[in-house]
Homo-oligomer: A and B are copies of this chain.
């Protein structure tokens, strides 16, 4: 049983996308799961009524598993990361507090990412000796999906932080992707341990001494394949600068390449894009903020109802698998 607190006011298409996403999620999830829509009560109820009277009329049976929780205030996309702490009546603050207080098992938002990160750290707290959480992003590859982290929460990373990312990614791959003894690669510019920048070279040494299934350095080309000379990998560890650049490059490159191909063979780009449907971020729904004591899922600001549904699914999986507990244990033992 999981109770998911969903920010009804977060994202470019709020409250419609969160409301639709909640109904779609409940239709897929077992009857024991509930969703708490956090936002201005009148707006959320109106959006729910409109959804159930229109596009989502077939899902009205699931209305009874939606709780609307009033939150008078909204954190905007342009607000500073610290805004949530000064605005306790915002949907983000209320949703995270409910999770911290045990009234919800996870929090999901498509709102202001910086604010969600800062508030998650403040309200939920961090595990072990972590200084900051990490963002795990999913890269579809030729072989299978791979977790790349950090994807932007930490820019200048110490070797020790890179080792933390490896532990966080390991638990993510186990609990969310269902991989057994996930293989960890360290992103570098050559497979030899002495290749890389200073932080990566030290991290390579540190990772070799852990109990993790560390397969050594992987290169940019290996990420596209999901495998390297030493076999497949599940997790790619990198600093948040490199990870963020790669993630945004990947998201933009796929449609750009499809456009180039479509023009050259005079084909419909939409048809070609279908072959890359698994690249669509909305399949993956949300990126867990790893390292916080609890479950805080960052959904894309442009999330559709389907993307929100998948973010809720990730939240349920994280809550049910006790991912946060596993992270605490894995960081605690070894710190």
What residues make up the interface of A, taking CB atoms closer than 8 Å to B? Answer: 141-142, 152, 155-156, 187-189, 196-198, 200, 219-225, 238-242, 244-254, 256-265, 271-272, 274-279
| Inter-chain contact A196/B274, CB cutoff 8 Å | no
Taking CB atoms, residues of chain B closer than 8 Å to A141 are 256
CA distance A117 to B236 in the complex (A): 29
Q: Which partner residue on chain B sits nearest A195 by CB separation?
A: B155
Chain B residues with CB under 8 A of A249: 220-221, 223-224, 246, 249-250
**Shortest beta-carbon distance from A233 to chain B in Å:** 14
6 A-B pairs within 8 Å (CB atoms) are namely: A189-B240, A224-B249, A246-B246, A260-B279, A263-B275, A265-B274
Chain B residue nearest to A200 in the complex (CB): B241
- Report chain B residues within 8 Å CB of A272: 261, 265, 272
Q: Which of these, B196, B241, B279, contacts A197 with CB under 8 Å?
A: B241
Partner of A259, one of B142, B221, B244: B142
CB < 8 Å: which of B225, B241, B276 contacts A261?
B276
Most B CB contacts (10 A, CB to CB) among A197, A238, A253 go to: A253
Identify the closest chain B residue to A143 (Cβ).
B256
Q: Which residues of B contact A256 (CB under 8 A)?
A: 141-142, 224-225
Partner of A155, one of B196, B238, B239: B196
Query: Nearest Cβ in chain B — how far from A67, in angstroms?
Result: 36
Check B265 against A275 for contact (C-beta < 8 Å): yes
- Known A-B contacts A256-B225, A260-B276, A274-B265; the reply to A245 vs B248 at CB < 8 A is no
Inter-subunit contact B189/A152 (CB<8 Å): yes
Q: Are A221 and B251 in contact (CB under 8 A)?
A: yes
> For the complex, what is the distance from the CA of A46 to the CA of B241, rounded to whole Å?
51
Q: How far is the CA of A219 from the CA of B200 in the complex (A)?
A: 22
Given contacts A141-B256, A221-B252, contact A261 B246 (CB under 8 A): no
